[in-house]
Amino acid sequence: MKKSRIAIGLFLLVVSQLNAQMWSLSQNERDSINRLGQKNHEAMKGRLGITALRPGPSGDESAPNHANYDETMADPCPHLPEILITAGGKKVKDAETWWEKRRPEIVEDFEREVYGRLPGHIPEVSWTVAVTDHEFVRRTPVIAKQLVGHVDNGSYPEIDVDINALLVVPTNVKGPVPVLIMFGRPAFPAPAQPPQEDIEKLNASFKALMIEKDPSLKTIFDRYPAYHPIVRLPPPNFFAPLPEGDLPSTEQLLAAGWGYLTLDPSSIQADHSAGLGSGIIGLVNQGRAREPEDWGALRAWAWGAARALDYLETDPLVDAKKVGIEGVSRYGKAALVTLAFEDRFAIGLIGSSGKGGTTLHRRVFGEAVENLTGSGESHWMAGNYLKYGASEATFGSMDGCDLPVDSHQLIALCAPRPTFVSYGIPEQGDAKWLDQKGSYMATVAAGSAFKLLGAKDLGVSNDYLKETMPPYNTSLLDGQLAWRQHDGGHTDGPNMKHFILWANRMLGYDK
């Protein structure tokens, strides 16, 4: 029963959670956004000649339309598209053929049918450092910089796009340092505070302003003369013992001599279909609807990560040749798309990414292609991806088996750069819905591209139909392609310490 509740809870999170900003809106505003999202979805169906889509299965195993969890039914088309055979049927035997012929073919298929193309006229981004703060994160001194990347909207002033990011770099190691870009909500880790004498001045001024605004407050302050609205927090205790268990991932990075940059995806592109008329996609399209091959949110977030890397290349505190990308769940999908399409990224940690990430599209286990083609998640993908959920259309019906590419090829696009695929276990909340086995199969199959380019893969054969997923807490970290399923839930936190050691070895970094 407990496992079922965990699975249902994760399903509801994955399917229905919009970005945090949306949930700060009123119910009427959310309803309006949902209606607009549905309208955009219906419009794309019409452009593609789709009259009916198959509904996505439910993550509730007791529901009549529950997802399949029977392995005997999970692989209706088990033979995956070839990685090392060109569209013309020629075997890829050397790196030159991969880079000049086969890899561009795979990129073309993914851009056209799955994630969408970058437009040829994306405006420039200019970065400013809004705030610089010197802080202590536990025992580590850091510099924290609040960054704003303003996208030039001169061609369409009706839409503003300001990318929100926060860079935190340790100052107790010789720089420049490697940095991990992490999709999430930026926040200063430990804002520096004024000394006590400045706190007293602030309190005096604050009390005066409050009394000027509301004279009745004077009687309250007179009744409690020792009360101060602004209180200085106690300074950090550098001698306090560290807590038991793993530190937060960001603190592990800082302690290891890494920096991190938290990048807010919603400041690049909203996480709902109604937002396709705004954000960077709406700005480029000047508010007009997408074309079927236009980029979706995953590709837009990846573009935003590349723009953050543009800034890092200018910061002397950062080793821009050692910048990685990280994300979990939908942001795990975005991290994989970033690593695959943006070749300046040196390394990636792909956490619990599921369908649209490392899990095979054509696998029918847990989350399905039909969940991604529904109105709630289709904004992640190119419009053309809807075709693979169609039951009735001018072109007939199509499903995941009709896709010309699959996730093993997306992982292959990352080669030979170090790529760490991370999952948890269903018992702790990384639900079966994510199809960990389907991700392992894709990772195994992708190894052939790594080996072609002189890198090491998982150290097993590339026969994805015969290789067995290892028990959790088994580390396959000897090569540039890595796999580890930890014993935690829907997070990559328990794998962070393993990632850092592996990444240091892969990048040749020693603080």
Q: What is the pLDDT of residues 455-484, one digit of tens each?
A: 999 999 999 999 999 999 999 999 999 999
What sign has the CA pseudo-torsion 240, 245, 248, 251? Answer: positive
**What one-character DSSP code corresponds to residue 266?**
G
Mean pLDDT score, 260-274: 97
Q: Is the pLDDT of residue 7 over 70?
A: no
Mean pLDDT score, 140-167: 98
Residue 24: which pLDDT band, with cuts at 50, 70 and 90?
Answer: low
**Burial classification of residue 346, based on how many CB atoms lie within 10 Å of its CB (0-12 exposed, 13-18 middle, 19 or more buried):** buried
Residue 16: which pLDDT band, with cuts at 50, 70 and 90?
Answer: very low
Q: How far apart are CA 87 and CA 201, in angstroms?
A: 72
Q: Is the pLDDT of residue 302 over 90?
A: yes
Evaluate whether 366 touches 357 at the Cβ level (below 8 Å): no
Q: What does the pLDDT read at residue 17?
A: 40
Q: Where are the alpha helices (DSSP H) in 214-269?
A: 217-223, 249-255
CATH superfamily of 95-184+251-507: Alpha/Beta hydrolase fold, catalytic domain (3.40.50.1820)
First to last CA, the chain: 47
Mean pLDDT score, 41-57: 97
Q: How far apart are CA 295 and CA 492, in angstroms?
A: 27
Name the residue ranges covered by the structural domains of the chain.
Answer: 95-184+251-507, 194-232
Q: Is the pLDDT of residue 362 over 50?
A: yes
Q: Is the pLDDT of residue 10 over 70?
A: no
Q: How far apart are CA 172 and CA 188, in angstroms?
A: 18
Evaluate whether 385 touches 48 at the Cβ level (below 8 Å): no
Q: Is the pLDDT of residue 8 over 80?
A: no
In this predicted model, what pLDDT tens digit does every residue of 368-414 receive, in sequence order? 999 999 999 999 999 999 999 999 999 999 999 999 999 999 999 99
Q: Is the pLDDT of residue 68 over 60?
A: yes
Residue 242: which pLDDT band, with cuts at 50, 70 and 90?
Answer: confident
